[in-house]
Every structure is written in structure tokens, then in C-alpha cells.
Chains A and B, each alone.
Chain A
Amino acid sequence: MDLQTLTYIVVGMTFALYIGIAIWARAGSTKDFYIAGGGVHPVANGMATAADWMSAASFISMAGMIAFMGYGGSVFLMGWTGGFVLLAMLLAPYLRKFGKFTVPEFIGDRYYSKAARIVAVVCLIIASVTYVIGQMKGIGVAFSRFLEVDYGSGLLVGMGIVFVYAVLGGMKGITYTQIAQYCVLIFAYTIPAIFISLNLTGNPIPQLGLGSTMVGSDTFLLDRLDQVVTELGFHEYTTQSRLSQLNMFVYTMSLMIGTAGLPHVIIRFFTVPKVADARSSAGWALVFIAILYTTAPAVAAMARMNFMNTIEPNKGEYMVYDERPQWFKNWEKTGLLAFEDKNGDGKVQYSADKTVNEMVTVDNDIMVLANPEIARLPNWVIALVAAGGLAAALSTAAGLLLAIASAISHDLCKGVFMPDISEKSELMASRIAMAGAIGVAGYLGFNPPDFAAGTVALAFGLAASSIFPVLMMGIFSKRMNKEGAIAGMIAGITVTLLYVFQHKGIMFVASTAFLGDLPQNWFLGIEPNAFGAVGAVVNFVVAFAVSRVTQAPPEHVQEMVESIRMPAGAGEAQAH
């Protein structure tokens, strides 16, 4: 059977599964729609959280980024996992005890202020919408590369699938599809990794293979890789830093705090029955995430090795362009690989020296997407990678869309504009908000705005500099008041956005950047994407200072803080 047909079958089967789950898990109440009824088992929620969290970027792009950044890529590995430690200890159990439906709702109640709730809704929507554009692009790209349907039609099919299970089932439908999607994506990621590790090192466990010797030699894989890349003029793989130690430190911190502050991840912990479950569920989520995140560095190093071995099988002996393998031709068509015969010898020279290098384009995403083909794995593995990439993008998109829809229907409609709305009308409003959010996300996927390129910086920067600090202070400081929280949020966001905009342009329109995006212009050499941690520090300092000179929060709020610090009496999450 040819690859195309096989891919259609595998992807078709996974889609049928998601639709099946949607029909089985329909939402009957707002509680079903917002928090899946509140009865999700902690291990199941851990799995759903893992799929919710691991996006198209984790699945498709991360290993490729590490492959070309070497040690410097560790910021993503540590940053995107370490945040779960913060989430488990600082936020998840307390927010579960609070027992409501959304993150802005906590902020509104804790800071006894509708204004604070609205500021939180705005931060949530900006962070989630920018994030969802990336998933939409991932869906369109996966379709166009593997199934050879055009980008737009691919996007429409993806939107259709999400529409069915997210509008019908809300959080309930999303939870159970995310569990299925986790299974699909983790198989799709680890199976090629196991094959490749076996091929290169003889060890089937990629995490161990990365530390093993190469098949048929007693040279360690990483030593060999270091040697090959330095011969080509690149920096040594295992010590290649990302700009500076300070930058790596701040970047890792920003990603950790940002991860812990992303609302679509936090709300997953509202679905478990007890406070104790919220704690252990965060552990399970990280177990399921770690399976992919500890495999990724092995995929990265091994794919880079295979790639260079294909182009230069022996030292000084280059691949003849006309004899290039089929996968090379396939990916050239997509523009992700490009060759330019600069010296006219018909051979492919690959080098760090830009004047000699003839591999003018090697996109990061190639390292995962073309990995099975480069390693000559069977066609069904390639089909599985397509289904896995789609599962990763769909599961994250659905989680983000729910966070957006619940902020609109629960925080804005019910919380601010129509407090008397009935449960039934609110459920209808939440379905309409979900449908609307899918439409907007789809539109932005078709017409990515200028700021789409900077989405990561914006989403993590906002979560780190506004949402995380305000939640944490709300739990750990009884003295923190409305004035402090609002001033802190505004100061944190302002500092972060100003820094990003001054280097990347206002709303990422490059021509409006008033300082070039170059390392010598950066504050202490910190790149704009890494600035969320600095914004968070500003938020903490401003909030602390303002709260000391203004009135303490009212008695009932201080009592509420007492009560969320104690697990007993959580009961089930309540509508109010």
C-alpha cells in the first residue's frame, strides 16, 4: 500500500475515534462543560493535561530546535517541564480547593474586584489566542505535507473535528479526546525514536542510547557528534550555549513561570475530585510529559547525526545531488530543504561557513517530520507521525479554546454583564462562545497576523508576568490587596510588552521596532522571548509596595485565603 493511502487510513481512524468519543461524552450542564463534571481520575487528568500541554511545537519543532542548538536547547526541556513543579506546589491544589470554574473567577473573588477579573480575562484571551494560532498553523501544515491537501482545506477539516467534540462536549468531550490524543502522539513520537536508537546505538531505549556507543565502534554517540559538528565548523554540540549563561537562566525561568501561569493548563486541575488529587495529578501529568521530553534530546542528536551522515557519508566525501534519496526530494518540494550548488560540482557541501554551505535551508521541523524517512523506517511509521502531529495540535487547540470560551461565557457574560442568566442559557452561551472562538482561531489560521511570529514570546511573557504572580500572591500573602494586584499586573505586562515591542516592533510589525533585535541592544544580553521572568519580578515588587501603603483586604477575603489553604471541605466544584 502506498504511503499516501496508508496515511489517510491512519489519520482517518484517529479522527473517527475522536468523533466517537465526542458523541459518547456530551455535556449536560455547565459543570460538565467547564470542568468535565469534576470527577476525572487523577491519572486520567494527568494524561489529558500532558496532551493539553504538548503542542504542535513540542511534537514537531522542539527536537529540531535542540538538534541545531545542542546544549542551548535545554532551556525548552527544563523550562517546559520545571513549571509543573511550581504548578503542583504553588497553585493547583489551592485553586482546586477554591472550587470554581475559571482562573479569572479566582482573581475576581480573591481581589474582590470586577476590574481585576476583567484584566485577567484580557490577559487570558491574548495569551490563549496567540497560542492557538500556532496550533491552527500546525494543523494546516501537517495536512498539507502528509496528505497533500492544501493548507486551507486541511485547516477546515481540523476545525470541523474540534468543533464537533468541543462544542458538544466542552471540557468533558475535550478531556476524553485528549486522553486518546495522548496515546496517539506518544506512540507516534517514541516508535521512530526506538528504531533510530536501535539503528545507531543498538540500545532500544532512546534515553540510554543517547549515552551509548555507536554500533560497531567504541566511540560514544555524543562524542562522535561533537567531533562531526566541529569539523564542519559548528560549535560543539554538548556545550553550545544559548548566548550567555545569564540568558539561559532567565529564559528557563520565564518558560517555567509561564508554564505554571497558562490558564488552559491550570483549568485542567479543576476537573479532579479532590485537592489531594490535584497534587498527584500534576505528578502524573509530568510523568506523561517526561516520556516525550526525555526522548526529544535523543531524537535531536540522532537525527542531526543521520542527517549529516547522509550528506557526508565519509569525511570529505559528499553526497552527489543527482543521487539524493527520495525523502530529500519530497521535502525539497515543501521548501523546508533547499540546496544551492555554489561551487558547481554537483555535490552537497554542508558547513557552518555560509559562503561554502550549500544546504541553504534546513528547517527545524524536518528533524521530526522526516526522521522516519531519513532512518528508512517502514511507511506505517511515517503515517503514524502524521497522526501524532495532528493529535498534538488538536489537543492543545481544544484546551486553549475551552479556556477562551469559558472566560467569555462564565467570566464576562455570567460574571459581569448578565449575572442572572440561567444555567441552561449559560450552557448555550458557552457553546456559542466555543463556536465563535473556533471561528476566530480558524480565521487567524488562514490569515496569520504579523504578530503570529511572536506568539510564543507573547503567550509565555503574559502568563509569566501577569497571571502567575497574581495567583501566587493571592494564595501565599493574606495581606495582598486589590490595589497591589492590579498595579502589579499592569506593571508586569507593561515592562514585558515594552521590551518585546521595542525589539520586535509594536504588535510585531518589524518596522515599528525602535531598537533593533540584536544581542548588543538587549538588556544584559537577555533575548525578548526570555523577558517574562523580569516582568514577573517587576510585578511582585510593585504589588508588594502598593499593597503596603493601601488598605488591607476585607475580613471575608482573608477568611477565604485561610479556607483555600486547608484541603478539607473542598467537596465538588460548585456553580454559584
Chain B
Amino acid sequence: MAFKNKEDAAAYWSANVRLMLTLLVVWFVVSFGCGVILVDVLNQIQIGGYKLGFWFAQQGSIYTFVVLIFVYAKKMGQLDRKFGVEEK
């Protein structure tokens, strides 16, 4: 089982890297963005008892991380099947 040709291999890899970079942007925004750099701005907004920036730093970023990994696993599974390189 392998790629049909060189073009397929390159297309698979660049799709993988693109997906990864997209998800890593989200990873960066929720933690370093909302939790650190923009924390003071977001703290102006209050949701329940939580200041929003504080919530991102101590709760929201962690929930987002979990979602990101499962999205990655699912999308990569689809990509593997599309290119016929999934494991049997």
C-alpha cells in the first residue's frame, strides 16, 4: 500500500500540513492570544462569574485543545482514505 504517484504523495503531505497549520493557529489564539496577550481586553467582558480572559486561561483553552486533537484525528482519517493510504 502506497501512494499511486509522486504527485499524490506531495498533495497528501501539503493537505496534512495545511490542516495542521490551521488547527495550530486556533491553538495559538485560544491560549497565547486570549489567555495571555489579550487577557486584559477580554477581562472587560464577564460571563457568569468568570472574566472572559481569565476563563480562557484556566478553562476555555483546555477545552479547545481537546476538540482540536479530535478534529485533527477525524480529518486525517478522511485524508488517509481519500489517498488510499489508510491502515488495514
CB-CB under 8 A from A275, the residues of chain B are 87
Closest residue of A by beta carbon distance from B32: A249
Say how far A285's CB is from chain B's closest CB, in angstroms: 9
Cβ of B69 and Cβ of A84 under 8 Å apart? Answer: yes
- Given A238-B51, A567-B86, do A290 and B62 touch, yes or no (CB 8 Å)? yes
Instruction: Say which one of A171-179, A207-215, A337-345, A508-516 lies at the interface with B.
Output: A207-215
C-alpha spacing A274/B55, complex, angstroms: 36
Cβ of B27 and Cβ of A287 under 8 Å apart? Answer: no
Cβ of A252 and Cβ of B85 under 8 Å apart? Answer: no
Total interface residues in chain A, CB < 8 Å: 50
CB-CB under 8 A from A521, the residues of chain B are none
Contacts of A216-240 to chain B: CB distance below 8 A = 220-223, 238-239
Cβ of A279 and Cβ of B57 under 8 Å apart? Answer: no
Q: By DSSP majority rule, is chain A's interface helix, strand, loop, or mixed?
A: helix
Cβ of A297 and Cβ of B48 under 8 Å apart? Answer: no
C-alpha spacing A399/B22, complex, angstroms: 33
C-alpha spacing A497/B61, complex, angstroms: 30
C-alpha spacing A293/B12, complex, angstroms: 35
Closest residue of B by beta carbon distance from A570: B87
CB-CB under 8 A from A210, the residues of chain B are 49-50, 59
Cβ of B36 and Cβ of A82 under 8 Å apart? Answer: no
Residue from A252, A294, A568 in contact with B32 in the complex, judged by beta carbons closer than 8 Å:
A252
Say how far A466's CB is from chain B's closest CB, in angstroms: 22
Cβ of B2 and Cβ of A252 under 8 Å apart? Answer: no
CB-CB under 8 A from B1, the residues of chain A are 568-569
Say how far B44's CB is from chain A's closest CB, in angstroms: 11
Cβ of B36 and Cβ of A252 under 8 Å apart? Answer: yes
C-alpha spacing A569/B88, complex, angstroms: 8
CB-CB under 8 A from A85, the residues of chain B are 23-24, 27, 65, 68-69
B14-34 to A contact mask, C-beta < 8 Å, 1/0: 001000100110010001100
Closest residue of B by beta carbon distance from A281: B73
CB-CB under 8 A from B66, the residues of chain A are 283, 286-287, 290
Cβ of A567 and Cβ of B57 under 8 Å apart? Answer: no
C-alpha spacing A82/B23, complex, angstroms: 12
Say how far A77's CB is from chain B's closest CB, in angstroms: 6
Residue from B3, B43, B69, B77 in contact with A566 in the complex, judged by beta carbons closer than 8 Å:
B3
Say how far B26's CB is from chain A's closest CB, in angstroms: 9
Cβ of A248 and Cβ of B36 under 8 Å apart? Answer: yes
C-alpha spacing A224/B44, complex, angstroms: 17
> Can you list 24 A-B pairs, Cβ within 8 angstroms, ordered by A?
A71-B58, A77-B58, A78-B62, A82-B61, A82-B65, A85-B23, A85-B65, A88-B72, A89-B20, A207-B59, A211-B48, A213-B49, A279-B73, A279-B76, A280-B73, A282-B69, A286-B66, A562-B9, A566-B2, A566-B3, A567-B87, A568-B2, A569-B1, A569-B87
Beyond A71-B39, A238-B54, A283-B69, 12 additional pairs, beta carbon < 8 A? A81-B65, A82-B31, A88-B69, A88-B73, A210-B49, A211-B48, A213-B49, A238-B43, A249-B32, A252-B36, A294-B58, A294-B59
Binding site for A on B (CB under 8 A): 1-3, 9, 12-13, 16, 20, 23-24, 27, 31-32, 35-37, 39-40, 43, 47-51, 54-55, 57-59, 61-63, 65-66, 68-70, 72-73, 76-77, 80, 84-88
Binding site for B on A (CB under 8 A): 66, 71, 73-74, 77-78, 81-82, 84-85, 88-90, 93, 207, 210-213, 220-223, 238-239, 245, 248-249, 252-253, 274-276, 279-280, 282-283, 286-287, 290, 293-294, 297, 562, 565-570
